[in-house]
């Protein structure tokens, strides 16, 4: 609706009615304003009041084109009991929502609950929201696009470059993430083109999106980012470069492993340069050792030289391709059997575990898992499922809980693994410990459904009230999970 009339009245008021006569012709209310009696200033103020009220409350008829209807959805309809289950899980914000959404893939939500689900979607995390939108289907996406409060639930249209060119930081990031999911190389090319015009915070945030779908097409941009003036940008670039062992970065690290180490009489010896060249500094080899790798120890102190070497061995082993530690034909186990100086032993072990996680190397994960019970879920999660299952089967029922290793095994667990975990909980673990709680929660969410009676029996056989409560709670969760899967079958 035009406000030209109000602007003309404002100009007249600023000049003063003694110098100019207000013109009502541009007003929507010109006929009524023209009939006002009184002095010139009274007529101007009355006309302004009329026009302001009309602009605020009045409306003129307009014709709007109807949007295209939502596409048809031929997926099977969600069973009524399952639909009600979803609404109940959303109401209490259950941590079983993710499992339910995974199990419900292939169904579509009934039309009658689409609006209700859209209203509740904002309480979910990003991954769950995306899965819920898939369940809602074309009709849900169509409705979300009509309502500004729901529009963020739908992935932005990457065919519209105006969002990237003129959008806010948050909308540009969502648009870029959608493009990265569709065409990773195109996303990298686009970010490369705008790199010099991005603020440091934007470079850091957008570069972090390259963690999804990383590949050789990222190499040139990462090389540029390694020399960025922002420390935080350099840290992101270093983390991403470590995920590309076949890159120029990986080849530089391989050469450094060859230059800084030698195998002598069954030992791996390091010769760390006193002064690093500019390229090594740029590649992160002069960065301090992370605090998580350098725990305080009252029984051990290091010289300045040892402290420096520990940091550089950590940076090298974290960044180098795992293949750099092997000569042709050398088994991984032989490399792991080499003796290492005592002050470097722990950082090398931690660094290799980190490299396994970055490079997703299943062969190294299997070797580390079988040799060192201290490897965490980051390593165990990359070992083949059969290797991890056999590792857990070999574990003594009275061995301290390796919760990280159990956590790395996806559901459903084999029955004997679940039974072993329950035996450990029943006979060995302190019921108030974090490990006891964590393993009980894992059992409730990953044990096969046929073990429900075993959980109930464990709860009735113990005299410890804490164990009883935790076993009974785990049995209830397992029963609920079984029910929700039955409702979706």
pLDDT by residue (tens digit) across 168-197?
A: 898 899 999 999 999 999 999 999 999 999
- Sequence-distant (6+) residues with CB within 8 A of 173 are 205, 206, 209
Cα separation values, 448 from 418, 443, 478, Å: 8, 9, 8
pLDDT: which is higher, 444 or 10:
444
Domain locations in the chain as residue ranges: 4-57, 80-153, 162-241, 248-371, 384-487
Q: What is the dihedral of CA 355, 360, 361, 366, to 10 degrees?
A: 100
Report the mean per-residue pLDDT for the chain.
89
Statement: residue 455 has pLDDT above 80: yes
Q: Which two tokens stand for residue 483?
A: 């029910």
Q: What is the SS3 assignment for 84?
A: helix
| Dist CA 336 CA 324 (whole Å) | 13
Statement: residue 55 has pLDDT above 70: yes
pLDDT: which is higher, 295 or 127:
127
The mean pLDDT value for 241-263 works out to 96
Instruction: Quote the pLDDT of residue 313.
Output: 96
Instruction: Quote the pLDDT of residue 200.
Output: 96
What would the pLDDT profile of 39-52 be if each residue is shown by its tens digit? 888 888 888 888 88
What would the pLDDT profile of 389-418 be if each residue is shown by its tens digit? 999 888 776 555 678 889 999 999 999 999
Which string of DSSP letters, residue by residue, matches 92-160?
TT-TTHHHHHHHTBTBB--GGGHHHHHHHGGGS-HHHHHHHHHHHHHHHHHHHHH-TTTGGGSPP-TT-
The mean pLDDT value for 383-390 works out to 94
Statement: residue 1 has pLDDT above 90: no
Band of residue 295 on the pLDDT scale cut at 50, 70, 90: low
């Amino acid at each position: 609706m035009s406000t030209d009339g109000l602007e003309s009245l404002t100009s007249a008021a600023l000049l003063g009615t003694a110098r100019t006569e207000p013109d009502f012709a541009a007003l929507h209310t010109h006929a009524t304003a023209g009939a006002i009696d009184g002095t010139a200033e009274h007529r101007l103020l009355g006309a302004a009041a009329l026009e302001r009220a009309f602009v605020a409350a009045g409306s003129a008829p307009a014709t709007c084109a109807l949007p295209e209807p939502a596409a048809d959805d031929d997926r099977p309809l969600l069973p009524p009991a399952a639909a009600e289950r979803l609404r109940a899980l959303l109401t209490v914000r259950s941590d079983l929502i993710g499992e339910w959404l995974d199990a419900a893939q292939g169904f579509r939500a009934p039309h009658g609950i689409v609006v209700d689900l859209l209203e509740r979607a904002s309480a979910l995390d990003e991954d769950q929201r995306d899965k819920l939108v898939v369940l809602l289907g074309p009709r849900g996406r169509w409705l979300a696009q009509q309502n500004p409060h729901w529009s963020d639930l739908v992935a932005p249209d990457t065919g519209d470059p105006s969002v990237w060119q003129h959008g806010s930081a948050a909308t540009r990031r969502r648009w870029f993430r959608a493009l990265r999911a569709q065409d990773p190389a195109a996303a990298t090319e686009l970010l490369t083109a705008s790199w010099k015009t991005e603020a440091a915070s934007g470079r850091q945030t957008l570069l972090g999106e390259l963690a999804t779908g990383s590949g050789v097409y990222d190499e040139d941009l990462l090389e540029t980012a390694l020399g960025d003036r922002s420390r935080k940008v350099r840290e992101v670039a270093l983390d991403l470069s470590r995920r590309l062992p076949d890159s120029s970065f990986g080849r530089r690290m391989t050469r450094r492993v060859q230059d800084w180490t030698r195998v002598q009489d069954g030992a791996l010896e390091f010769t760390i340069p006193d002064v690093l060249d500019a390229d090594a500094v740029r590649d992160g080899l002069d960065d301090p050792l992370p605090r998580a790798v350098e725990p305080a120890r009252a029984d051990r102190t290091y010289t300045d030289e040892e402290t420096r070497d520990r940091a550089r061995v950590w940076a090298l082993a974290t960044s180098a391709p795992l293949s750099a530690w092997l000569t042709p034909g050398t088994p991984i186990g032989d490399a792991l059997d080499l003796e290492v100086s005592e002050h470097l032993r722990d950082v090398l072990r931690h660094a290799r575990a980190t490299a396994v996680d970055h490079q997703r190397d299943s062969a190294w994960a299997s070797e580390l898992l079988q040799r060192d019970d201290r490897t965490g879920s980051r390593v165990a999660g990359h070992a083949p499922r059969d290797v991890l299952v056999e590792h857990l089967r070999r574990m003594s029922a009275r061995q301290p809980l390796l919760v990280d290793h159990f956590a790395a095994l996806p559901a459903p667990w084999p029955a004997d693994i679940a039974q072993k975990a329950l035996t450990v909980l029943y006979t060995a673990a302190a019921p108030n410990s974090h490990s006891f709680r964590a393993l009980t929660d894992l059992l409730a969410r990953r044990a096969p459904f046929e073990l429900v009676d075993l959980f109930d029996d464990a709860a009735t056989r113990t005299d410890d009230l804490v164990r009883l409560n935790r076993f009974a709670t785990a049995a209830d969760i397992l029963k609920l999970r079984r029910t929700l899967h039955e409702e979706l079958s």
